[in-house]
């Protein structure tokens, strides 16, 4: 579900991934992407795709960190 949000609203997905400062930067770039889509289609699409890839990467990293913490906690509790 978060990946779907990341495709349409990358700043919101970045915020949900737990990165508020990167979300602010992503929002500013997202506004520039919209301006680019309105006036200059190709640069707007490129910026949009970069924001989507960035959001996907942050979501993936967040999930991997969560899994690593769960494994580390399980190992600690197993001792």
Q: pLDDT tens-digit profile of 11-35?
A: 999 999 888 999 999 999 999 998 9
Distance CA 41, CA 16 (A): 28
At 5 the pLDDT is 92
Helices (H), 1-79: 2-8, 10-16, 20-39, 41-78
49, 50, 55, 60: CA torsion to nearest 10:
100
Number of structural domains found in the chain: 1
Quick one: pLDDT at residue 1? 86
Domain region containing 66? 2-78
């Amino acid at each position: 579900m978060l990946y779907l949000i990341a495709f349409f609203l990358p700043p919101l997905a970045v915020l949900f991934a737990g990165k508020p400062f990167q979300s602010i930067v992503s929002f500013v770039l997202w506004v520039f992407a919209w301006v680019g889509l309105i006036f200059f289609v190709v640069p707007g699409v490129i910026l949009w795709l970069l924001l989507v890839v960035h959001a996907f990467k942050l979501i993936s990293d967040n999930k991997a960190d969560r899994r690593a913490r769960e494994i580390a906690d399980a190992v600690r509790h197993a001792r």
